[in-house]
Amino acid sequence: MSRVVGLGHLGAAQAQPGEFDQVDAAQQAGGPDQRATGSRGEFADTLEEHGKGEVVVGPDNFTGEARAIPGYPLGCPVWIEWRYIPSSLSETAVENLTERVQFLGNILKTTSDGHEAVFWIPKFVGLYEDLQHAKRLSGQDSRWGFLYTVPEIADYDLDPVLDMDFRQHDPDFVPNPISLRDMMNRDTRLKRSSKTPPPEPGDRVKLAIALTGTFAQLHAAGWLHKGLTSDRIWFFRRKNAPPRELPDISRPFITGFDLSRPQATSSL
């Protein structure tokens, strides 16, 4: 589960509760030690085109990963998921895991291009190897970033500080984006006192169909998610929607593919 803990410049250091990420975006895009496998050009072009952006960083309470949603002045926000490679692994294990990460990047690129409405997975932008992460934090794990765009229908204009302000003063406020886990907890907590009605039964059925259809196609292709939980399924409000309006749950945003693997491959 992710939660907002602060604002800072787009960077690569793993966020901890209450800390800020202060790495310069220009260094991230063009530093001499920055390499990436896959779509590095797309990633670098995104940073250079939109300049420095603000980032909302939230630690994942279950896996220790950090998720970030950089929002750039010219639009085109990016969703980042980090895949950490433990420094304690043998050289062979690191090579195997790195190879799997690269292979997964190719799979995500193939399946997400033009198929968002079918697979309900975000459009994959590129794969980024953060070589500076282990250097900045001596002895820490290296990591790869999986970069995705957010849905075009999503409203991401609301300042995160305003988000937190609404959250404190309005019990009916709906975070944007909101995970399925948070949505279920919210409905349980508010019950009938909420002025915002829960999703309609028909929309819940549509969500179930979207999820089962997506994973049926992934499994048919011999690919396993290996990390599906309610906090890996996200929803965005439509553009210009009021803070109390629930998002369309029939349009899920499935994340957490950083642990995915081919069906015939054992886990590391």
Final residue before a domain boundary, out of 149, 164, 195: 149
User: Quick one: 139 and 12 in the same domain?
Assistant: yes
Is 21 part of any domain? yes
Overall number of domains in the chain: 2
Say if residue 137 is in the same domain as residue 13: yes
- The answer to whether residues 60 and 144 belong to one domain is yes
Residues 125 and 59: their CA atoms lie apart, in Å, by: 22
Show the tokens assigned to 129: 């190897």
Residue 159 domain-assigned? no
Residue 163 placed within a domain: no
CA distance 117 to 107: 17
**The amino acid at 90:** S
- In terms of domains, do 191 and 74 share one? no
pLDDT mean values, one per 10 residues, the chain (268 residues): 24 27 28 28 31 32 38 52 81 85 77 59 74 62 75 50 48 69 70 63 89 83 80 79 76 79 62
pTM, 2 dp: 0.59
Same domain, 17 and 140: yes
Spatial contact of 137 and 13, defined as CB atoms under 8 Å apart? yes
Q: Are residues 116 and 28 in the same domain?
A: yes
- Residues 69 and 201 grouped into a single domain: no
Query: Do 13 and 122 lie in a common domain?
Result: yes
Examine residue 242 and say whether the peptide bond preceding it is cis (omega within 30 degrees of 0): no
Q: Is 3 helix (H, G, I), strand (E, B) or coil?
A: coil
**What range does the domain containing 212 cover?**
175-262
On whether both 102 and 219 belong to a single domain, the answer is no
Predicted local confidence at residue 205, as pLDDT: 92
Is 179 in contact with 2 (CB distance < 8 Å)? yes
Q: What is the pLDDT of residue 230?
A: 86
Beta bridge partner(s), residue 233: 254
Structure-token match 């929607």, residue found: 241
Query: What pLDDT shows up at residue 190?
Result: 54
User: How many CB atoms sit inside 10 A of residue 77's CB?
Assistant: 18
- Please state whether the peptide bond connecting residue 199 to the residue before it is cis, i.e. omega within 30 degrees of 0: no
From the centroid of its chain, how far is CA 227? 13
Residue 100 belongs to some domain of the structure:
yes
259 neighbors 65 (Cβ within 8 angstroms): no
Tell me if 169 is assigned to some domain. no
Please give the Cα distance from 57 to 69 (Å, whole number).
Answer: 7
C-beta separation of 42 from 105 below 8 A: no
Distance, CA of 251 to CA of 92 (rounded, Å): 40
Residues 94, 224 share a domain: no
Note whether residue 268 is domain-resident: no
**Does residue 131 sit in the same domain as residue 19?**
yes
Nearest to 69 by CA among 126, 140, 3: 3
